Amino acid sequence: MRLITKDFLTYGGFALQGKVAALFLLLSGPVWADEVTVLALGDSLTQGYGLVEEDGFVPQMQAWLDGQGVDVRLINGGVSGDTTAGGAARAAWSMTPDVDAMIVALGGNDVLRGIDPAVSRENLSQILQVASDKNVEVLLIGLRAPGNYGPDYKADFDTIYPELAAQYGVAHVESFFAGIEKLDPAEWPAFFQADRIHPNAKGVARIVEQLGPDVLELVHPG
């Protein structure tokens, strides 16, 4: 369901109409009606590469949210191998009228291909602009580039997410893998598949445990 934007609103026994009601809703933050639909726009990490369906990111996050007692429906918008360009190309039609909020987790394949961070930034900006135009709330999940391409590339890429989050006024998490990165690096292999890129079911569980509160705040602010 969409945000409630009625021209007439009753609050605390007082009738608020027209612009006054709109101002109240703006200042009080998002007000969700009924079930909240969230699109998870991403790549193989979102899609659940190498895992049985129920062990993927979206099903595990759905189960976590269900356990919190919130009425949320997650849509798996992950496409294995997708870059930020692919996400930008499908953003508009992916955000159907029933989508209230969106998790954006893209950029890993850009890094693997050594794509210019300026290009990745522009693609992510396009996605966030579409979301803004459609009044869709966003949680932007960042990614830290390795040092393979040098310090300048890493610095340029790593700043994309916090800067765009500030520019568009959206929620931001520094890293998709924050739940694993908190552990001793010697423990990390136990949470990944053989390719050392994609998390296994145990790894996804840690990721969901870390990101869950941020997603909950997205769908149930305050």
Give the C-alpha separation, 46 to 58, whole Å: 7
Looking only at the bridges linking them, the beta strands covering 171-173 and 36-42 are: unpaired
Alpha helices, DSSP H, located in 39-116: 44-47, 57-67, 84-94, 108-112
> For residues 162, 178, 69 and 67, what is the CA-based torsion angle, rounded to 10 degrees?
160
Q: Are 133 and 163 in contact (CB under 8 A)?
A: no
3-class SS of residue 171: strand
Give catalytic residue positions: 44, 195, 198
Distance CA 200, CA 7 (A): 48
Residue type, 89: A
